[in-house]
Amino acid sequence: MLTNLPTWTTDRVELLKSHFEAGLTCREIAASIGVSRNAVIGKLARLQLTRGPARAEPRPTKVARERSRKSIPRLQYQILQAVYENAHPLENAQPLQEEPIMSERRCSLIELSNERCRWPIGSPGAEDFCFCGNTPVEGMPYCSGHTRLAYRPGTRQRVSRA
């Protein structure tokens, strides 16, 4: 195999520029030159050629995006689901069991406030559905126990489709 095919030769770059100035779309330019659309776009970017003004808000870096996805609050039923899945084997001492969280001041939706833990208890829509109502951690929507539950990182959600 030829290891060094010069992708962007001088004449290809000239074709790129002329087609770009002619107003062809990147896809059309790519087809005409025989490269991928991304290759054209990437080369144009490196040549500092753009049609419109660059996007106002630079999007967060990949690392930042992955980080922000790590500690998302999980719904109660998702946690219960995980518990059931991990509870199959006979010996399962305590997979992710900690001290039970007592909710002594359960309240309804309309009674929620910044002073009441917003952790849902029961099934939404059910007759006895309510919220924990404990005093939240400062600046958090949940009490200390439910904050630990909701924001414990590391447990990946299963979203994969079969």
- Binding-site ranges for DNA (CB under 7 A): 7-8, 25-28, 35-39, 41-46, 50-52, 54-55, 57-59, 61-65
In angstroms, give the least distance from the CB of 68 to DNA. 10
Name the β-bridge partners of 130: 121
Distance CA(75)–CA(73), nearest Å, equals 7
Backbone angles phi, psi at 103, to 5 degrees: -115, 90
User: How many CA atoms within 13 Å lie on the side-chain side of 101?
Assistant: 23
Residue closer to DNA (CB basis): 13 or 102: 13
Residue closer to DNA (CB basis): 63 or 126: 63
Chain-centroid distance of CA 151 in Å reads: 14
In angstroms, give the least distance from the CB of 25 to DNA. 3
Question: In the structure, how many helices (H) and strands (E) does the chain have?
Answer: 6, 2
Paired tokens of 153? 């990182």
In angstroms, give the least distance from the CB of 50 to DNA. 3
Residue closer to DNA (CB basis): 72 or 87: 72
Paired tokens of 130? 């309510």
Residue closer to DNA (CB basis): 23 or 125: 23
